[in-house]
Structures are given as structure tokens and as C-alpha cells.
């Protein structure tokens, strides 16, 4: 393998970057340690509307791979809730394994080569780029290898130090009575620094949580058990075996520094490009992955300078969201959320967090009203 660009990681960031490079006519190989891009996922896979609007790569995403979610039901720690939505806004729940394979197929159709079962471990600088040992040579290297980036480590680039830990159970064949909402649970004990969630995905119900990691003594399964107990009056999955588990680290401290050096660039989670508040990183990984591919192609074709000197300036800084992360980390209070649910400050925060500043309204009309949750047992098809 002697290529123009080696991209490490065949996920959202790496596949979008490789698609752009290949479409520009460059020789690009994606090195992926897994044997299949759809296996061992560590994401809920919810794609925000902005990504659908802004990322051309998602045009043509087959309808059967997604489900539209129109709003959020936000539960206070005492389980009272408000329904929130924003004009024209939605999320897409996805059949994530198949979305990953579809993205990989698009990169290959564009001309990228994806080398599965290839673990990147090291890179040595040579005159014309990098020597990757048995994996060949590359003129440019992209680290799209997630939150514990080996590319960052090998090349002495910045690495994330602040994380949430996310874990999610999948229940194949289960159904929710309110499937068009993303159900979000605030509870400092169960999900400190973040939330728990229940969402009807494509053919599965996904129940998960993320916790801020700071001397955390809870295991993932203990935290999930606490969540399942908490939500049991509404969604009872306590006696249902999950069909699959997704779990992983989520950077929440903003961009790493430096995120680039001569002929090498980090993108996606490797660059810390995840919203410190929502923990969403798919949109940014796709958008900046594509842009990185274009920038590298321009450099390798001699039209622009090395993107390490200018491109990283276009990465999101998350200034407001880093402030919200700080406040959530230090002042999260269940009593305050019980009190503030449905109020103007809470709606303002929800507008920033869930709907990208697009305002908040109650789908039932008027200002969001606080309602008591009605206990209900969900139908589950998985026994
Ligand atoms: C539980 C959980 C739920 C989440 N839910 C959402 C959500 O609903 N919506 C959202 O927007 N974001 C969500 N996120 C965040 C989102 O998943 C990430 O931001 C996104 O996956 C980042 O994509 P990426 O391409 O940068 O990296 P990743 O998706 O982490 O992919 C990295 C790839 O690199 C490969 N790799 C790693 N090391 C090597 C190596 N040394 N050699 C070769 N290959 C390697 C991995 O196998 C993997 O394929 C969630 C995260 C977690 C943990």
C-alpha cells in the first residue's frame, strides 16, 4: 500500500473523509481494525436534522434505515415531564450497523479502498510522508480512529482527557407507545453529568445512559440496572434480556490540542469534536470529515498549503456548550430540575441543547406544560 492518504478508522469521520479524497481522484486507503464497519458499535446512532441538511454524503440514505423522531419528552428526576419540539426540527433514529455499511459502500464506490482487520499501531515520518510499517506508506495521514486515537498517540498530537461513559441496551422487536419521541431522563444519581434515554429505533428499542467519569465507582451494568429500575413505571425492561449492548467513551472536553501536525490531521472523536453537552458527534464527524478530505486533496494536488496549518481553524470550539458542561458538572441538582421543568430558562437551555437554537414549543400547543407520567408497561417482543 503506497497511497496518497491513509485514513485510520472506517466510521463516520473516516468514511466521509475517504469519500471526499477518492472523489477528488486520490489514492486513499482506510485502515479499520474491525472486520465489518457495522459490528461492535458504540453509538445510539441518532442523526440530527442539521446533518441531513448539511452533509451531502447522506443524500440517498435509504428510508428503511431510518425512523423520524419529532421531539423530546424530557423527564425531571421526579418523572414529571414536558414535551418539547421545534418548528420543522426532527432527529433520525437509525439502523446504525446498516448505515455504517452503506457509508462504507459509498466510500468504495467513490474509489476508496477499505482494508478491514488492519490495526494501525505506528507511523514513522519519512521524506514524502509516513512509513506505516507492514501497512505501507502514505503521503498524508488522517486519524479518524475515535476517542482513544492511536494516531494521536503515535504522532504526539493532543488527546481528550475529559469523558462521559455511555452504555446502551438494545431490545430487538420491542415497541414503545410513544415511538415518535426521544425520551430523556435527568437524574444525578443514575446519569451524573448527562441523561438516560429511551428511543424507538429501527426494529429495536434502545435504552441507555451516559455518566461523567470522575472517580466513578459504578459499573456500566450497575448504572443500567439503576436506570431500568427508575424507568420501570413507564418502560419496564427489567425482565427482558437485551439483544445487544453498545458502549463507549465520549469526549466531552472540546477539541484536542494540537489536532494536526505536518501532513497529519485528526478528525471526529479523535479530535474531540463532540458536543460537550449533547454528546452528539456524528454530525460533526461527517461534516468535518468531508471538509478534511477536500482540504487534504487540495494540498496533495498542490492547490493549497498543508491543511495542518489552516484547516483546524474551521473546527467547532463549543464555547457555550463547554460552559454548560462546566455548569452541569459542578451544579447539577435534581431539586432544581424538578422545580424548573417547563419554565422559560429550561426552555432556553433545551433550545440550545436539543434544537440547535431553533426555539422550543409544546407539540400539543402553547408553552410546554409539566405533566405527571402515567405508569405503563411496554410491550416487548423479545420475551
Ligand atoms: C453510547 C454512545 C451513544 C452515542 N450516541 C450518539 C448519538 O445518538 N448521536 C450522535 O451524534 N453521537 C452519539 N455518540 C457519539 C458518536 O458515536 C461519536 O461522536 C461518533 O461515532 C464519532 O465518529 P468517529 O468516526 O469520529 O469515531 P468512531 O465512531 O469512534 O470510529 C472510530 C473507528 O476507528 C476504528 N479504529 C480505532 N482504532 C483503530 C486502530 N488503531 N486501527 C484501525 N482502526 C481503528 C474503530 O474500530 C472505529 O471503526 C454516542 C457515543 C456513545 C459512546
With a 6 A CB cut-off, is 33 part of the ligand 1 pocket?
yes
With a 6 A CB cut-off, is 268 part of the ligand 1 pocket?
yes
Rounded Cα–Cα distance for residues 163 and 252 (Å): 5
Closest CA to 16 of 315, 316, 308, 282: 282
The protein residue with its alpha carbon nearest to ligand 1, atom 39, reads 145
- Give all strands (DSSP E) within 178-325, no chain letters: 181-185, 196-200, 204-212, 244-251, 260-261, 264-266
Q: How many other β-carbons are positioned within 10 Å of the β-carbon of residue 343?
A: 14
Cis amide linkage into residue 258, ω under 30° from 0: yes
pLDDT in tens, 66-100: 999 999 999 999 999 999 999 889 999 999 999 99
Average predicted confidence (pLDDT) for the chain: 93
**Axis crossing angle, helix 12-23 with helix 282-300, rounded to the nearest 10:** 30
Ligand 1 centre and the CA of 350: distance in Å? Answer: 25
pLDDT, position 168: 98
Ligand 1 centre and the CA of 205: distance in Å? Answer: 20
With a 6 A CB cut-off, is 282 part of the ligand 1 pocket?
yes
Exposure string for 238-264, b = 16+ CB within 10 A, e = fewer: eebebeeebbbbbbbebbbebbbbebb
What is the pTM assigned to this prediction?
Answer: 0.95
Ligand 1 mutation target, pool 18, 49, 50, 145, most atoms within 8 A of CB = 145
Q: Which atom of ligand 1 is nearest to the CA of 249?
A: 53
With a 6 A CB cut-off, is 251 part of the ligand 1 pocket?
no
The protein residue with its alpha carbon nearest to ligand 1, atom 29, reads 11
Ligand 1 centre and the CA of 232: distance in Å? Answer: 29
Asked whether the predicted pLDDT for residue 35 surpasses 80, the reply is yes
- CA dihedral sign, ordered 11, 15, 18, 22: positive
pLDDT in tens, 165-219: 999 999 999 999 899 999 999 999 999 999 999 999 999 999 999 999 877 788 9
pLDDT in tens, 313-370: 999 999 888 888 898 889 999 999 999 998 988 888 888 788 876 677 778 777 778 8
Asked whether the predicted pLDDT for residue 55 surpasses 60, the reply is yes
Q: Which atom of ligand 1 is nearest to the CA of 247?
A: 1
C-alpha cell at position 19: 469519500
Rounded Cα–Cα distance for residues 193 and 210 (Å): 8
Ligand 1 centre and the CA of 44: distance in Å? Answer: 10
Ligand 1 centre and the CA of 177: distance in Å? Answer: 30
pLDDT in tens, 128-159: 999 999 999 999 999 999 999 999 999 999 99
Q: Number of helices and strands (H, E) in the chain?
A: 9, 18
The protein residue with its alpha carbon nearest to ligand 1, atom 50, reads 43
For residues 91, 97, 103 and 109, what is the CA-based torsion angle, rounded to 10 degrees? -150
Closest CA to 213 of 167, 181, 172: 167
Ligand 1 centre and the CA of 376: distance in Å? Answer: 34
With a 6 A CB cut-off, is 170 part of the ligand 1 pocket?
no
Ligand 1 mutation target, pool 1, 6, 11, most atoms within 8 A of CB = 11
With a 6 A CB cut-off, is 185 part of the ligand 1 pocket?
no
With a 6 A CB cut-off, is 166 part of the ligand 1 pocket?
yes
Amino acid at each position: 500500500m503506497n497511497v496518497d492518504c491513509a485514513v485510520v478508522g472506517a466510521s463516520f469521520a473516516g468514511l466521509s473523509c475517504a469519500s471526499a479524497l477518492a472523489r477528488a481522484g486520490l489514492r486513499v486507503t482506510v485502515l479499520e481494525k474491525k472486520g465489518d464497519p457495522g459490528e461492535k458499535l458504540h453509538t445510539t446512532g441518532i442523526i440530527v436534522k442539521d446533518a441531513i441538511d448539511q452533509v451531502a454524503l447522506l443524500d440517498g440514505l435509504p428510508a428503511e434505515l431510518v425512523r423520524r423522531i419529532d421531539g423530546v419528552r424530557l423527564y425531571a428526576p421526579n418523572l414529571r415531564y414536558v414535551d418539547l419540539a421545534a418548528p420543522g426540527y426532527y432527529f433520525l433514529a437509525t439502523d446504525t450497523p446498516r448505515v455504517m455499511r452503506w457509508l462504507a459502500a459509498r466510500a468504495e464506490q467513490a474509489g476508496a479502498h477499505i482494508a478491514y482487520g488492519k490495526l494501525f499501531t505506528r507511523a514513522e515520518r519519512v521524506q514524502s510522508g509516513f512509513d506505516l510499517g507492514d501497512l505501507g506508506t502514505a503521503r498524508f495521514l488522517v486519524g479518524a480512529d475515535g476517542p482513544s486515537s492511536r494516531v494521536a498517540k503515535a504522532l504526539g498530537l493532543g488527546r481528550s482527557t475529559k469523558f462521559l461513559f455511555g452504555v446502551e441496551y438494545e431490545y430487538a422487536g420491542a415497541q414503545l407507545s410513544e415511538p415518535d419521541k426521544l425520551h430523556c431522563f435527568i437524574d444525578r444519581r443514575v446519569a451524573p453529568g448527562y441523561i438516560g434515554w429511551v428511543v424507538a429505533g429501527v426494529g429495536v428499542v434502545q435504552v441507555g445512559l451516559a455518566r461523567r467519569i470522575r472517580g466513578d465507582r459504578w459499573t456500566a451494568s450497575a448504572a443500567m440496572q439503576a436506570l431500568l429500575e427508575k424507568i420501570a413505571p413507564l418502560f419496564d425492561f427489567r425482565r427482558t434480556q437485551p439483544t445487544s449492548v453498545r458502549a463507549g467513551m465520549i469526549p466531552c472536553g472540546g477539541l484536542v490540542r494540537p489536532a494536526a501536525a505536518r501532513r497529519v490531521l485528526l478528525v471526529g472523536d479523535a479530535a474531540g469534536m463532540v458536543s460537550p453537552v449533547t454528546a452528539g458527534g456524528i454530525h460533526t464527524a461527517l461534516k468535518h470529515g468531508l471538509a478534511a478530505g477536500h482540504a487534504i486533496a487540495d494540498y496533495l494536488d498542490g492547490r493549497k498549503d498543508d491543511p495542518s496549518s489552516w484547516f483546524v481553524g474551521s473546527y467547532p470550539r463549543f464555547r457555550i456548550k463547554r460552559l454548560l458542561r462546566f455548569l452541569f458538572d459542578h451544579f447539577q441538582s435534581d431539586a432544581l430540575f424538578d422545580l424548573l421543568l417547563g419554565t422559560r430558562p429550561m426552555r432556553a437551555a433545551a433550545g440550545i441543547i436539543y434544537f440547535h437554537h431553533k426555539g422550543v414549543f409544546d407539540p400539543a400547543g402553547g408553552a410546554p406544560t409539566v405533566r405527571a407520567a402515567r405508569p405503563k408497561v411496554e410491550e416487548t417482543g423479545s420475551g
